[in-house]
Amino acid sequence: MSEKQTKAEHRGIPVTEEFRRYIASGWAPRKEDTTPRASVADYTERRRQALSEAFPGERLVVPAGGLKVRSNDCDYLFRPHSAFAHLTGLGADREPDAVLVLEPAEGGGHESVLYFRPASGRDTDEFFADSRYGEFWVGPRPTLASTQVELGITTRDLSQFETEVGKDVGTVQVRVVRDADVVVTAQVDTVRATVCQDEGVAEQAHQEAVTADQELARFLSTLRLCKDDWEAEQMRQACAATARAFEAVVAEFPEAVRRGRGERWIEGTFNRTARHEGNGVGYESICAAADHANTLHWVRNTGDVRPGDLVLLDAGIEMDSLFTADITRTLPVDGRFTAAQRQVYDAVFAAQSAGIAAVRPGAKFKDVHAAAIRVIAEHLYAWGMLPDGVDVEHALDPQRGAWHRRWMVHGTSHHLGLDVHDCALALREDYMDADLRPGMVLTVEPGLYFKEDDLLVPEDWRGIGVRIEDDVMVTEDGCELLSHHLPRSAEDVEAWMATVLPHS
């Protein structure tokens, strides 16, 4: 190999000056950018204000994240970090490598500055030759001016970030969302390290900085607990779109049976609708037929779908804003439950109804699980499935009981929003032990899972797995069922499916 060749290159792009001049010439003027101010801009301004008030006088660095290689020279579809999306309003695939900085301002408060890679000139190599960022390859990028108008945020070229993030670092504390972008985190760590040269002291200072970064990440996660009006509307749209995708899936049940490997057919039908209705799926869809439903995170989706099966579909559409639904229905492929299937389904429906009834302001988050799991335990006791001498209260005792957990391993609820498991960094006191407040969005999703090889389960129930999941928002006097579009009771499910399934 030639000493000059250090990297394989197979595209053969011309590099002569004559070719560069040729590529740069002969283009019509770019159209005038008339991007309006985004509807979310007023809301993101208030979110950044809350962040500013929590960390006065500090420089706060919130990266979008960079492109991630899928294989060789192909990247995954980009999705910005949720904290970045929440504070800027940028969703879908915008903007890789961008960094939001809250810069402390004279006299108090912060100026929000968005550093990103703007549209490049047609006279640059990037325009034609850069397959990752070039306009020929991935399309035009927005300008600094248009983005400033759209978001109401000061914008600067990304090339300025590395210099500006370190200014006054000895007198201004700098925090960074560490998990968003390893490159940006390394840059921030480097500039913070310049303050102290003593090795021992430097290591202690680094650990203190990491702790400070974690405090920032936790605040940003907790900030999303209560949705504002704009976020609430995004959640409603996500649930409505997801309901349409469920209907598309049910209409394809006969094809899923006929073609074989029907779980993949179901997955593909949902994903196609998700890409059409929004940005895509909010998480990997669980399309589980028959006993696969008893594997809680069954995302292989490789199984057949057969007549008489139940199909557990746990899926949600993520909107372009990145807010996602998270809905589960367990549906009979033929449109009607068998007697055994219905008995299990009705028990889960009763548990879910109790959980939803517990969602109201002032109740504890954990009360929702307590209400649902009590109904599960009562059914298991009535069916004689708990060990001898174990009654409902014994089963529910967290220290001596939990016998029911054999058939419902998971919790009943989690927060929902930009992430399917949103606000995950919030402290227990702000999450599990917290009072429910208006604007909180959570799932209610009890289940019963009777594996086909579980000898403690009545024989005709083995292989039946049922989960019913809905998305609810706490209101001033109770809750709003965001996913009301889809039926929940067995009777309503059968009636709905009769209108959707193709008739021979």
Q: Are residues 160 and 264 in the same domain?
A: no
Rounded average pLDDT over 99-123: 95
| In-domain check, residue 3 | no
Q: How many Å separate Cα 100 from the centre of its chain?
A: 20
Contact 367, 360 (CB under 8 A): no
Indicate whether 485 and 347 sit together in one domain. yes
Q: What is the CATH number of the domain that holds 431?
A: 3.90.230.10
8 Å CB contact between 392 and 382: no
Q: How confident is the model at residue 11 (pLDDT cuts 50, 70, 90)?
A: low
218 and 236: one domain? no
Q: How many CB atoms lie within 10 A of CB 485?
A: 16
Is residue 17 within a helix (H) or strand (E), and if so which, with residue range? helix 17-24
Say if residues 462 and 451 touch (Cβ distance below 8 Å): yes
- Which of 301, 296, 312 minimizes the C-alpha distance to 261? 301
Buried-state track 45-55, b at ≥16 Cβ within 10 A, e below 16: eebbeebbeeb
How would residue 503 be classed by pLDDT, with cut points 50, 70 and 90? confident
Q: What is the pTM of this model?
A: 0.95
Residues 179 and 315 reside in one and the same domain: no
Q: What is the distance between the alpha carbons of residues 273 and 71, in angstroms, rounded to a whole number?
A: 26
Residue where one domain finishes, among candidates 176, 194, 222: 222
Question: Is there a single domain that holds both residue 190 and residue 259?
Answer: no
292 pLDDT exceeds 80? yes
Rounded to an integer, the average pLDDT of 18-43 is 92
**Whole-number average pLDDT of the chain:** 95
Query: DSSP character for 292?
Result: G
- Residue 422 Cα distances to 64, 163, 226, angstroms: 17, 33, 11
For the four alpha carbons of 156, 162, 168 and 171, in that order, the dihedral sign comes to positive
Residue 328's closest CA among 416, 446, 442, 240?
446
pLDDT in tens, 406-437: 999 999 999 999 999 999 999 999 999 999 99
Tell me the C-alpha distance between 151 and 222, whole Å.
23
Is 1 inside any structural domain?
Answer: no
The residue-averaged pLDDT of 180-199 equals: 90
Average pLDDT over residues 42-59: 98
Cα 154 from Cα 252, distance rounded (Å): 48
Of 222, 251, 277, the residue that ends a domain is 222
Among 222, 239, 264, where does a domain finish?
222
Given a cut of 70, whether residue 368 has pLDDT beyond it is yes
Phi (first) and psi of residue 180, to 5 degrees: -80, -40
The lowest-confidence range among 13-17, 27-31, 347-351, 477-481 is 13-17
Same domain, 309 and 415: yes
Length reported for the chain: 504
* Helical segments of 223-280, H only: 229-251, 253-259, 262-277
Neighbours of 78 (CB within 10 A): 17
Residue 9 domain flag: no
Q: Are residues 47 and 77 in the same domain?
A: yes
For 137-172, how does the pLDDT look when each residue is reduced to its tens digit (9 = 90+)?
A: 999 999 999 999 999 999 999 999 999 999 998 899
Tell me: the pLDDT tens digits for 442-465? 999 999 999 999 999 999 999 999
- What is the span of the domain harbouring residue 344? 229-500
Could you tell me the strand order of the sheet in which 99-104 lies? 154-157, 110-116, 99-104, 59-63, 174-176
How many whole angstroms separate alpha carbon 472 and alpha carbon 232?
Answer: 10
Both 123 and 96 in one domain: the answer is yes
Compute the average pLDDT of residues 43-59.
Answer: 98
Q: Is residue 198 part of a domain?
A: yes
* Mean pLDDT across 287-292: 98
Distance between CA atoms of 229 and 236, rounded to whole angstroms? 11
Distance, in Å, from the CA atom of 133 to the CA atom of 156, rounded to the nearest integer, reads 17
Shared domain for 265 and 366, answered yes or no, is: yes
The pLDDT value given to residue 334: 97
Over residues 256-288, the pLDDT tens digits come to: 999 999 999 999 999 999 999 999 999 999 999
Domain of 50: which CATH number?
Answer: 3.40.350.10
Return all residues near 72 (Cβ < 8 A) that are at least 6 apart: none
Q: Assess whether pLDDT exceeds 90 at residue 37.
A: yes
User: How far apart are the C-alpha atoms of 502 and 504, rounded to whole Å?
Assistant: 6
| pLDDT tens string 352-361 | 999 999 999 9
Two structure tokens written together for 191: 């500039």
Pair 168, 250 in one domain: no
pLDDT of residue 298 exceeding 50: yes
Spell 238-259 as b/e; 16+ CB within 10 A means b. bbbbbbbbbbbbbebbbebbee
pLDDT the model gives residue 9: 62
Query: Domain for residue 8, yes or no?
Result: no
How many structural domains comprise the chain?
2
- Which whole-number Å values give the CA distances from 100 to 107, 181, 266, 297, in the listed order? 21, 12, 39, 34
- Domain assignment of residue 319, yes or no: yes
Helix (H, G, I), strand (E, B) or coil at 103: strand
Q: In the structure, what pLDDT confidence band is assigned to residue 10 with cuts at 50, 70 and 90?
A: low
- Phi, psi for residue 96 in degrees, rounded to 5: -55, 140
Mapped onto helix, strand or coil, the DSSP state of residue 472 is strand
On whether both 432 and 411 belong to a single domain, the answer is: yes
For residue 5, the model assigns a pLDDT of 52
Query: Do the Cβ atoms of 172 and 57 come closer than 8 Å?
Result: yes
The DSSP letter of residue 226 is B
The reply to whether 6 falls in a domain is no
CB-count exposure of residue 311 (10 Å: 0-12, 13-18, 19+): buried
- 469: β partners: 328
With CA atoms as reference, report the closest residue to 470 among 489, 484, 454. 484
Tell me the percentage of the chain whose pLDDT exceeds 90. 87
Distance between CA atoms of 302 and 165, rounded to whole angstroms? 48
Residue 202 lies in a domain: yes
218 and 233 fall within a common domain: no
Helix (H) / strand (E) containing 214: helix 199-222
User: Of 188-202, 241-255, 319-333, 384-398, which gets the smallest average pLDDT?
Assistant: 188-202
